Amino acid sequence: MSKAGSSTESSTGGKAVYRNHAHYIAEGWSAEPKESFKQLAGIIAKKRAMSGLKVLDVGCATGELLGFLSTQIEGGSFVGVDVTPELLETGRRLLPQARFVRASALALPSELDAGFDLVCAIGCMSIFDETQIEAFWDNLFRVAKPDGLIVVLSPLNQFGVDAMIRHRKRIDSRLGGWETGWNTFSVDTIAELVAARGGKLQIEPFRIGIDIAPRADPIRTWTISVGENPRQLTNGLKLLVDHEFMIVDRRMSYP
């Protein structure tokens, strides 16, 4: 096992690993921007002028978000960080104007310190457990400029419960190893972590506006009708998944 945080294999200190990335290469970028990306662009536009921003995407996969933001932010500069070399190679090919760096969200290189007007981390916070979540937020604060904007999207729990979840699945009847990716922290825990770093947490719900059917991989989310909600996200872990945007605008931070 390699050093903690330096690869997907080690992203939870040897207990469970993040492996669910192959589809990002197999399926390529979506023809239409993802709904979450469009909502994110709206959040950014409410907070900053959409020009000249230095943008860092943590857990960038193949750079799909950076590609979208490069169409929304005029004259921006774009850096993506991920631990998976194949994803970064694909990103370099699809978005040559961006820079792709291999690094863990838990150990971002010091060359990135205080360098970014906008730091995004979409769909990767839930990879990290209670021993890693502080390092995750420390790193985001460290690479954001003192007046920067941090936006994280991840499932959160509204009942004050932190749930550390590991799963394993069978593909073609073959049992796989233990995986991470669905750890769900409470809003309260994240608000405390952010406040301890001098920030103020704002939450904006992401609720999907389209139906999604189950796919062959049971870990990927789909929508079901639950009570008043016609599009509750769920997955083969039998979770009710509610993604929330966590917004920290350091222009509004406590002293």
Ligand X SMILES: C[S@@+](CC[C@H](N)C(=O)[O-])C[C@H]1O[C@@H](n2cnc3c(N)ncnc32)[C@H](O)[C@@H]1O
Residues 120 to 149 in contact with ligand X, rule: CB under 6 A: 122-124, 127
For position 16 contacting ligand X by CB under 6 A, the verdict is: no
For position 5 contacting ligand X by CB under 6 A, the verdict is: yes
Do 247 and 156 meet the contact criterion of CB atoms below 8 Å apart? no
For position 64 contacting ligand X by CB under 6 A, the verdict is: yes
Residues 74 to 93 in contact with ligand X, rule: CB under 6 A: 82-84, 87
For position 8 contacting ligand X by CB under 6 A, the verdict is: yes
**Whole-number Å distance between alpha carbons of 238 and 222:** 11
Nearest to 123 by CA among 191, 32, 61: 61
Residues present in the chain in total:
255
Nearest to 246 by CA among 112, 132, 120, 113: 120
For tokens 């069978």, the residue is 170
Q: CB of 255: closest distance to ligand X in angstroms?
A: 31
First to last CA, the chain: 41
For position 243 contacting ligand X by CB under 6 A, the verdict is: no
Q: What is residue 219's DSSP assignment?
A: T
Q: Are strands 144-157 and 185-186 parallel, antiparallel or unpaired?
A: parallel
Residues 180 to 239 in contact with ligand X, rule: CB under 6 A: none
Q: CB of 173: closest distance to ligand X in angstroms?
A: 25
For position 61 contacting ligand X by CB under 6 A, the verdict is: yes
Q: CB of 161: closest distance to ligand X in angstroms?
A: 22
Q: CB of 122: closest distance to ligand X in angstroms?
A: 4
Do 100 and 112 meet the contact criterion of CB atoms below 8 Å apart? no
Q: CB of 153: closest distance to ligand X in angstroms?
A: 7
Q: How far is CA 130 from CA 15, 184, 185, 218, 231, in A?
A: 13, 10, 9, 25, 29
Do 168 and 176 meet the contact criterion of CB atoms below 8 Å apart? yes
Q: CB of 88: closest distance to ligand X in angstroms?
A: 9
x/- string (CB under 6 A) for ligand X, residues 17-46? Answer: -x--x-------------------------
For position 115 contacting ligand X by CB under 6 A, the verdict is: no
Binding site for ligand X (CB under 6 A): 5, 8, 11, 18, 21, 58-61, 64-65, 82-84, 87, 104-106, 122-124, 127
